[in-house]
Amino acid sequence: MKKIFLSVLLITSMTLSAASNPFFKKYSTPRETIPFNLIKTEHYLPAFEEGIKQAQADIDKITSNSAEPTFENTIIALENSGELLDKTANCFFNVLYTDGNDELMELSQTVQPMLSEHSNNVSLNESLYKRVKAVYDNMDNLNLNAEQKKLLTNTYESFENSGATLSEDKKEKYRSISKELSQLSLVFAQNVQKSTNSFEMLLTSEDELAGLPESVKEAAAMAAKSKGKEGYLFTHQAPSYVPFMKYSSRRDLREKMYKSYASRALEGEFSNVDVLKRTAELRLEMAQLFGFENYATRVLRKRMAQNPENVNKLLDDLTAAYTPLAKEEMSAVQGFAVGMEGQNIDIMPWDWSYYSNKLKDARYSISDEVLRPYFPLESVKKGVFGLATELYGLKFKKNPKIQVYNEEVDAYEVFDKDGKYLAVLYTDFHPRDGKRPGAWKNDFKPQWKEGKKDSRPHVIIVMNFTRPTGDKPALLTYDEAETFLHEFGHALHGMLSDVTYASMSGTSVYRDFVELPSQILENYMGEKDFLDTFAAHYETGEKIPAELVEKIKASSNFNVGYGCLRQLTFGKLDMKFHTIEKPLDMPLFEFETLATETTQLMPAVDNTSIATAFSHIFAGGYAAGYYSYKWAEVLDADAFSVFQENGLFDKETAESFRKCILERGGTEDPMILYKNFRGQEPTIDAMMKRDGVRK
């Protein structure tokens, strides 16, 4: 079936005329947005083929130039090459991840090797590299500004990192490795998505629903109905899985749900075991090609952390600081469970969410079900957008004339405080079969400047939030509302970008710096002044009561030690995979257990795996970089302390954060950008104080 489909596409790619392909035209749409209503699956492959052809022609033009290499005729020309290819890829991969289907997945298996081959053809082009190096070696005589110097440095280093300085035999090895890695990344992500979508647990009796709130049962009944089934359907999608584990009093069903979730892509048709082992092995091979002992060492030299030793020190220091607190929390939940059940019970991973939620409710009389009515999606949207208005003066205008790739998506034009157009923002909130799990921000088009033209970005934020049920709107959990803020912080980083070159715009920064603009916004969720701007009961319109806000504040550090160790578990596993110095020679379960033993509070569960669904590091760009979430927590707590000192909505502080951080993208070293805002390097003190670990 796959071969037939691809054969049809190949034939189509040869016969489809450019006149009928939207990618070959300038978009005559509002803000030149993508005309999704006109784009069909058969348009992609010819656009990719022509895009690669044009991009190669751009490269040939640079290398055949008889003039001496200059910043303009080499670096800028390279930066501006491949317009059609970028245009096509940005559309294709965003749609693949958010509204994919079998045809697009099959097509991606054809397209990915093509893109990898083209990328290698550019980075391993000896003539092109010589021109880039000639400009780089002459940098001090070119009178470049800081942004131009950064572009030149980035361009030169990208060639070095992509094998330009390797011997011919090693170049061929690099070409082979990078091509296979790109394919493995795609396979890994699709296996996770297919494995996630393949699980269903249909419940039909009332005793199986014990403990579940009405809102959870309503959503499950609606999910069953949408599949033509009677009963209550639970899946591994976050809005289904998370509340089931939190509220179900059926321990046997929680165990079933947990074990199936924790073994996604572990065995069977969608197994990622061989995929991830091969990925780790190839990354090691690639690092060793360049003379590094492991992959992390190669990657981290271009990060704020600089090397694996600094990362491991951060992870170990935090483990030491938070473990005593986490053990106290574990003991408290254990004791509560014993008292609740009237018998001894050993807390297992499928018990933690349930009993810890019960303890939290007992201590603070607060739960998702108490808070949900105050967080209808439309109100949260108003609050999140309103925060950007309050801080930066931004205005958001929904424009139904802008085409979207799915009817659930909304498109907004974003305007600055002076009424100037800034960006298009697409929002995509709810899970569906064609969408990857999780939440993320991406671009359909980045920001860049040429002459007097400032080409503004088209940004997308994607989430998998609770759907509306019956006559109720989508009522978000507190965590979902916080996730919205997080992804919106990334969106602001993209929308407020004010740089010259697309490759350095918005979130094109070091991986351990990119989470600062997102995580700093999460701090507002615990602030009454912010919650009062939007949090109101969806039926009565009553503002969220002050006592509830106090409970939110009081409970904000509940199980913060456990939460920290959980993040450190991911960070340590990531570092373990990427500091290996020989291929994995032990079973995956044993490897994971050894990597995470210092952060585990509960027994490891056989036939489960973190790694097989760890898309961040095997399909999402965070390889040897997952620590960056904790690294950025240090930054965001330190940065938010300035807002706390000067006022949550202080315009001067916000303007400084915008000018020093959000607008500058990757145009300078991130520590320079941070110190421009803060006046000093960050310390761990603010985070430890916020978490209640230090006074």
Cβ neighbour number for residue 607 with a 10 Å cutoff? 10
Rounded Cα distance between 219 and 235, Å, is 11
CA–CA distance, 73 with 126 (Å, rounded to integer): 17
* Residue type, position 254, single letter: R
- C-alpha of 112 from chain center: 20
Q: Which residues are catalytic?
A: 487
Q: Which residues on neighbouring strands pair with residue 421, listed in sequence order?
A: 415
Task: Let me know the angle formed at the C-alpha of 447 by 658 and 56, rounded to the nearest 5 degrees.
Answer: 145
Measure the CA–CA gap between 478 and 367, rounded to whole angstroms: 9
* Rounded Cα–Cα distance for residues 155 and 361 (Å): 54
Q: Are 200 and 145 in contact (CB under 8 A)?
A: no
Rg over alpha carbons for the chain, rounded to the nearest Å, is 25
Looking at this protein, which amino acid is placed at residue 187? V
Backbone angles phi, psi at 649, to 5 degrees: -115, 25
173, exposed or middle or buried, with CB in 10 Å at 0-12, 13-18, 19+?
middle
Distance CA 36, CA 408 (A): 13
Q: Is 28 helix (H, G, I), strand (E, B) or coil?
A: coil
Distance CA 231, CA 267 (A): 28
Phi, psi of 642 (to 5 degrees): -70, -40
Where does residue 577 rank: exposed (0-12), middle (13-18), buried (19+ CB within 10 A)? buried
Give the total residue count for the chain. 695
Q: Could you give the CA distance from residue 325 to residue 558 in angstroms, rounded to a whole number?
A: 10
